[in-house]
Structure formats: C-alpha cells, structure tokens
Amino acid sequence: MKSVLSALALLLLISAYLFVDFNKLYLSLSPKSELVLQKNCDLHKGPCSIVIANGEVLSLEIFPKDIPLMKTLHFKVHSSNQSLDKMHLKIYSRNMFMGSFDFVLKNTGKGYYETKGIIPTCIVGKMQWNADLEILDKNKLIGARYQFNTE
C-alpha cells in the first residue's frame, strides 16, 4: 500500500513539474505582445484611435455607448490596413480577476472589422477593463490597449 501511495505521489510530482515546465516553454515560444496604450480617450463618448508599432492606425468603438454589462455589445474597429487576416479583441478586468474574454473580429470591408460579445457583471461595481486589439505581425503580436470603466 505504501509503495502504491509513494508511486502516486511521485507521479503527481512529475506531472506537476512537467505542467509548470511546459507552461514556461509554451510562454517562451509564444509571440510577445507589443501593445500601445490609449490613455486619453473615453470609449463611452466615441471611437478611440491609436497608432500601433508598425505605423497602422487602429480605432475602436463600442455600442451601446453606456457599455452595459451582461448585454450584447457591438465592437467595431477601423484599421488603416484593409486586409488584416486575423485580429483578436481580448477584454479583461484590471481591478479584479474575472477571466479573459476573447473575440475574433470579422473583416466587413473597407478597413472595418466587427464582432459582438458580452462582458460579465460584478456585484462590486465600478469595474476597470482593458480591451486589447492584437494582430500577428512577423511572428509577434502588436496592437493597441484601450481602457474603459463600467458601473
């Protein structure tokens, strides 16, 4: 019985080591993000634009403007590059861990990209959010980080 428990404990330790080591390996091989932060814009009032690392301009707008929680939001992006293959929008809270919400934007033509999604509510209220627009460019992630608040 002791040998079975010892074997299980050893197997658990090896599995934990491989899991942690695999995460380090995965993170080291994953493309690094280079996001430009938008500081002086209010997504509740209108679109916010950022010039990203490769010189392209990304503009994000969210509808409805009051950005309600637990209701469908329409995210609209305009890019100076009309032929982006893949653009992702990742939304996550800055003041509390509530998970990460990832959306793929669809190219609707003439430099416009759109998606819909829902962000969760919290009983604490006054949530602070990051909305990261990410584009894979020459094996690295570049893009823009927009910040907004919800009640």
Q: Taking the domains of the chain in order of start, what are their residue ranges? A: 1-30, 33-150
Query: Per CATH, is 33-150 categorized as 2.30.130.60?
Result: no
Tokens 């490769």 found at? 54
Give me the average pLDDT of each 10-residue run along the chain (151 residues): 78 65 55 82 95 94 94 96 88 88 94 95 83 87 93 82
Instruction: Give which of 86, 40, 92, 46 is closest to 66, Cα–Cα.
Output: 46
Q: Is-contact 107 79, C-beta < 8 A?
A: no
| pTM for this prediction | 0.76
Tokens 């003439």 found at? 110
